[in-house]
Amino acid sequence: MSVGATSASDSVATDKPQISATPLAESLMLLAVLTVVQRLVGFLRGVLFCRWLSPEQLGQWDLLFGFLMLAGPLVVLGVPGTFGRYVEYYNQRQQLKTFLKRTGVVSLVLTILGCSVLIIWDRQAAMVLFNESTSYQTMVAAAITLASVVGFNYLVELFIGMRQMRVVSVLQFVNSLIFAIVGLGLIQFWAPTSMSVIISYGIACAATCILGAYFLTNKYRLLPPETEISTHREFWAKLAPFAAWMWIANLLSNLFLVIDRYMIVHFGGFTPEQAAAEVANYHSSRVVPWLMASVAGLVIGVLLPHLSADWEAGRRREVGESSNLIVKLGSLVFTGGGVMILLAAPWLFGVVFSGKYDGGLAVLPWTVASCAWSSIGGLTLLYLYCAEKAKLVSLLYAVGLTFNICLNFLLLPRLGLEGAVLATAVSNGITFCVGLSLCRRLGMEVDSATWMAVLLPLTLGFGLMIAAPIWIVCVWQAACGRSILSNNEKLKIAEGLGKLRNRYAGRNQPAPRGDAL
């Protein structure tokens, strides 16, 4: 190639539009702060919903919310799920405007069709959701809220693809805050029903859609004119296979999260009112434990870029060792969190929930065990993502979903709500084991202490008097012995804490003069 020649790739590299991404460190810090505040707002909102709504109305809202989380990605056929992979791809080729227009139009059309189906076949949808025909107004409100949820999810996925984590954090925080304020206000001053909650959630998503559209408009104006536009055939041939896999993954994961509630409604042998009350009991038992899953999601988001960097640098053995250590530490931390929840349970259900959910208190131990298994199992996904085996995540959810359905068929008619909770807990434990086995087959070093960590959350299901002493012994062994954490793993922990301390201490030191940075 001559000196004056310029390749197409060079042109892309030099002339590509620059989307101003939030720096990684700032993104993680802002995301952590707003996520913590958002979770606190969500926790207080959930507690007050349990306190101010009747069990039947709380159960109806739980079923509606599960439906919205399932239907949101479902109706748009996984198109927004492609943003994280392909936004930068089309941005590099100066075709981002075309990407936004085409995906936006398709998502809008699919949303209109999905919401229309929900309104036209409202009775059939109500039978699926509640096993009874509910009011037409409820299903219309659900359809309108679904449209708002799809729009909110579209914008969040888009800004994540643009690496605008500051915008994502603000949108999610504002959504949670508006939902809490409007929802609690409607319950107190209008009607303490599920209709108040679903309307408030629709308002929150619609408001954040307007805010997100404002941010997007500002970004869109900065994009340069497009130099080349791919045909629809080329465009969708590239996006459709990835969207299909994302659609399947979202369907399986969301079904895994909500299937036990719908099994209670349709196969528990309850009347619709009794089924809603049992779902409310289940919901009350998950309000606090589900915070552990939120923490696990935050940890995964923070650690994945660092582990991926090590993987790409060829340090795959170190990634396996770090993942193994993360699972063991996660087991100790989340089991300890479960012990604290069981310790506070009498006060939580007796005082905070006003004694309305004795059924939730009865199944709390296995709910805590289920959430602990789910949280720790989520940490195993780190190694699968680093190894670029994301398709195996869908396999994991398929395994868990299958076991959950089969165990619910077996246990729900015999044990009622306890059977549904036990089925979900066992399914989460099995999914965790299968995930760890897959990681081991892919090269992750899994020692005997890691398998002990798999079993540790099981003790939570047998109550505080059994779980607490076993957890204390395990923590003591981890700190003083070598049966859980090896000397090398303890050294890694000490080094990590030392680096963290030095990093924060270094922020207080003045920057050297003359440094370009």
**pLDDT tens figures, 182-241:** 999 999 999 999 999 999 999 999 999 999 999 988 888 877 777 777 788 888 888 888
- The residue out of 162, 195, 227 marking a domain boundary is 227
Exposed, middle or buried by CB within 10 Å (0-12, 13-18, 19+), for 273? middle
Q: What pLDDT does residue 57 have?
A: 92
Of the given ranges (203-207, 281-285, 324-328, 403-407), which has the lowest mean pLDDT?
324-328
DSSP 511: P
Q: What pLDDT does residue 18 have?
A: 47
Q: Please check whether residues 222 and 267 belong to one and the same domain.
A: no
Picking from 184, 168, 177, the residue whose alpha carbon sits closest to that of residue 204 is 177
Q: Please check whether residues 209 and 255 belong to one and the same domain.
A: no
Q: Please check whether residues 99 and 180 belong to one and the same domain.
A: yes
Provide the domain count of the chain. Answer: 2
Alpha helices of 190-230 — where are they, by DSSP H? 194-221
Q: What is the mean pLDDT of the chain?
A: 84
Amino acid at 192: P
CA distances from residue 404 to 219, 343, 368, 409 in whole angstroms, order as listed: 44, 28, 17, 9
Q: What pLDDT does residue 302 have?
A: 65
Question: Does residue 466 lie in a domain region?
Answer: yes
**What is the share, in percent, of the chain residues with pLDDT greater than 70?**
88
Of residues 31 and 324, the one with the higher pLDDT is 324
pLDDT at 77 over 50: yes
Question: Does residue 206 lie in a domain region?
Answer: yes
Q: What pLDDT does residue 305 have?
A: 67
Q: What pLDDT does residue 418 have?
A: 94
Q: Please check whether residues 222 and 246 belong to one and the same domain.
A: no
Average pLDDT over residues 241-248: 83
Q: Please check whether residues 255 and 211 belong to one and the same domain.
A: no
Q: What pLDDT does residue 97 have?
A: 84
Q: Which domain holds residue 316?
A: 239-503
Chain CA centroid to CA 103, Å: 23
Q: Please check whether residues 87 and 194 belong to one and the same domain.
A: yes
Question: Does residue 124 lie in a domain region?
Answer: yes
Average pLDDT over residues 140-164: 90
Q: Please check whether residues 182 and 330 belong to one and the same domain.
A: no
- The residue out of 206, 227, 248 marking a domain boundary is 227
Structure tokens at 455: 């079993």
Question: Does residue 165 lie in a domain region?
Answer: yes
pLDDT at 498 over 50: yes
Distance CA 161, CA 279 (A): 36
Question: Does residue 292 lie in a domain region?
Answer: yes
Mean pLDDT is highest, among 8-17, 189-198, 214-223, 480-489, for 189-198
Q: Please report which confidence band the pLDDT of residue 135 belongs to, taking 50, 70 and 90 as the band edges.
A: confident
Of residues 507 and 481, the one with the higher pLDDT is 481
Of residues 19 and 127, the one with the higher pLDDT is 127
Of the given ranges (145-159, 435-449, 479-493), which has the lowest mean pLDDT?
479-493
Q: Please check whether residues 177 and 307 belong to one and the same domain.
A: no
Question: Does residue 358 lie in a domain region?
Answer: yes
Question: Does residue 435 lie in a domain region?
Answer: yes
Question: Does residue 384 lie in a domain region?
Answer: yes
pLDDT at 90 over 90: no
Q: Please check whether residues 217 and 248 belong to one and the same domain.
A: no
Q: Please check whether residues 72 and 190 belong to one and the same domain.
A: yes
Q: What pLDDT does residue 34 have?
A: 67
Q: Please check whether residues 165 and 293 belong to one and the same domain.
A: no
Q: What pLDDT does residue 110 have?
A: 94
- The residue out of 174, 196, 227 marking a domain boundary is 227
Of residues 497 and 293, the one with the higher pLDDT is 293
Average pLDDT over residues 39-43: 85
Q: Please check whether residues 307 and 432 belong to one and the same domain.
A: yes
CA distances from residue 1 to 4, 11, 14, 95 in whole angstroms, order as listed: 8, 15, 18, 27
Distance CA 16, CA 10 (A): 10
